[in-house]
Amino acid sequence: MEITEKVAYLKGLAEGMDLDTDKKVGKLLAAVIDVLDDVALELEDIKDEQAELADGLDAVSDDLEDVEDLVFETGEDDEDDGYYYDDLEEDEECYATTCPTCEETIYFDESVLEDGEVICPNCGEKLEFDLDGLEEDADGEDGN
């Protein structure tokens, strides 16, 4: 039973008792029931407002989760990218070769070298590498 319903019941009870509100006790009871009535109504208002606040908070919470996902994912990406590019600069060398078909200079990195082939972006010719050969060349230059 809601508090407002209980207060309404008390009101009805008081009326049923034919409470003499001119007498001190009757006056007091009538005043108490009046206050209870006000309290019950205010409580209902507060409940409604709280429900609205809770709904609003849920919406904000959901939005915040989206923002957190974005912020933290982006943050991690930024860090990863930073390290990734550092790694590229430190560990991965860039290579260049000339396409035998169109004589376009093609730039590529170590990962392409490991694949053993690169597609010429100019004419689409597939160039194949001999990784061991390239390494031997490099060693030879260093040795001589």
CB of 128 to Zn ion, least distance (A): 13
Measured between alpha carbons, how far is residue 29 from residues 32, 73, 84 in Å?
5, 63, 78
Distance CA(23)–CA(5), nearest Å, equals: 26
Contacts of Zn ion in 83-122 (CB under 5 A): 99, 101-102, 104, 120, 122
Torsion of CA 43, 46, 50, 52, to 10 degrees: 120
x/- mask, Zn ion, residues 122-141, rule CB under 5 A, reads xx-x----------------
If the CB atoms of residues 74 and 122 are measured against Zn ion, the closer one turns out to be: 122
Return the residue matching tokens 């078909």. Answer: 101
Tell whether the torsion through CA atoms of 82, 86, 87 and 88 is positive or negative. Answer: positive
Verify binding: residue 37, Zn ion, rule CB under 5 A.
no
Token representation of residue 90: 């430190």
CB of 123 to Zn ion, least distance (A): 3
If the CB atoms of residues 74 and 105 are measured against Zn ion, the closer one turns out to be: 105
Distance CA(69)–CA(10), nearest Å, equals: 54
CB of 96 to Zn ion, least distance (A): 13
CB of 76 to Zn ion, least distance (A): 38
Q: Which residues bind Zn ion (CB under 5 A)?
A: 99, 101-102, 104, 120, 122-123, 125
